[in-house]
Amino acid sequence: MPDDLPRPEPFTQRTDPAALEDLRARLRATRWPDRPEDAGWSLGTDLDYLRDLVAYWADGFDWPAREAELARLPRYRVRLGGLGIHFVHAKAAAPAGTALPLVLSHGWPDSFWRYTKVVDLLTDPGAHGADPADAFDVIVPDAPGFGYSDRPAGEPLNSPQVAGLWAQLMDVLGHPRFGAAGGDIGSHVSRYLALDHPDRVVAVHRTDAGIPVHTGDPAELTASERAWFDEVAAWSAAEGAYAAIHRTKPQTAAVGLNDSPAGLAAWIVEKMRAWSDCGGDVERAFTRDEILTNVTLYWLTGTIGSSMRMYRANSLIPPAQLARRVEVPSGFSIFAGDVVRPPRAWMERTANAVRITEPERGGHFAAFEQPELYAEELRAFFRPYREAAR
């Protein structure tokens, strides 16, 4: 590593027991709201479900055990752009120099947690019944303001700025060329890695095409694209209140969510249920321990406010930036249970889409919901581009 580059330091988190006692005390003292009879999930998080979840969180959930599981991943911190960045860097089981470096970018409401189930599948495919030649060196950073990365003290970073940090991170790790993949905000970040660093990104894989922006004549759009725009508008009207708050008044919500763990769980779990391929039962997609690992990461790091502020930063990206076409070879895996699923015409309009698949299982958190299927999607897509990274 050149002397002028920052050096990553190993990272292990051990939570102060006093922080867990404070969490349990807050959970047990939750001041529950009233609700209309038989409201269920129709007005937001179901109160009966949340009561049960909070009771388990307070008296049954074993965070030290979950923390120990996360500690099995090789994790580091490094200073980039004035911020401490936390990341997983898991090297392939394949001989050195033969694996494809791959940076995986998460979204909201999650962190590096999104990819914890696929790291071993990607670094050591031979141990999981796949071709050892498909191994990756896997890098999973926490975006600034998420997880164990620092929170920006001033203006939040937008997706192009985070993509710039990830390009620096790959320099630090000695990867001049690499693949990029992501979903949700991570899809946006991966897109800008390909747009702004096309000489370095050999190919980019995404599980969505983002919220559509078209700056040209609407008459140019196909019927399927126009129908999709209408679908996205309808979804935003019915389901997008959270995003409007994140874009406009995130600090107002952050006061309550950062103070009440039950409120934080309600905010996050409702999205985990609505966006996953669970048929209305969130615990068909995630166990209670998995749900609470994600939520507890937010609670202990105090990052719900800073994570929401990234929506505001992204809302200020100029339309001309949003309309740029990705010319780097692009793959899309549009999982059947995800929300606002784009038509092929839109993906081909906005990117050099060389591979588009529609897996039958999995939703917005596909890497966590269906890790084996997601890993196979990545192996198949990146296979033709491995030599380009060497």
How far, in Å, CA of 381 to CA of 207, rounded?
A: 12
Q: For 154-208, what is the HEC assignment?
A: CCCCCHHHHHHHHHHHHHHCCCCCEEEEECCHHHHHHHHHHHHCCCCEEEEEECC
Would residue 364 show up in a list of annotated catalytic residues for this protein? Answer: yes
Of 33, 114, 126, 38, give the one whose Cα is nearest residue 70. 114
Of 234, 222, 184, 181, give the one whose Cα is nearest residue 347. 222
CB 134 within 8 A of CB 383: yes
How far, in Å, CA of 347 to CA of 206, rounded?
A: 10
Instruction: Kindly report the number of other CB atoms within 10 A of residue 177's CB atom.
Output: 16
Which one of 184, 208, 277, 338 is the catalytic residue? Answer: 184
Which one of 311, 338, 374, 385 is the catalytic residue? Answer: 311
How far, in Å, CA of 294 to CA of 300, rounded?
A: 10
Which one of 142, 364, 374, 385 is the catalytic residue? Answer: 364
DSSP per residue, 299-347: HHHT-HHHHHHHHHHHHTS-HHHHTPPEEEEEEEE--TT-SSPPPHHHH
Would residue 311 show up in a list of annotated catalytic residues for this protein? Answer: yes
How far, in Å, CA of 115 to CA of 173, rounded?
A: 19
Would residue 49 show up in a list of annotated catalytic residues for this protein? Answer: no
Helices (H), the chain: 17-28, 47-59, 63-71, 119-123, 159-172, 185-196, 223-239, 241-248, 250-259, 261-275, 288-301, 304-315, 319-322, 344-350, 366-369, 371-382
Question: What's the half-sphere exposure (Cβ side, CA atoms, 13 Å) at 165?
Answer: 27
Residues with active-site annotation: 184, 311, 364
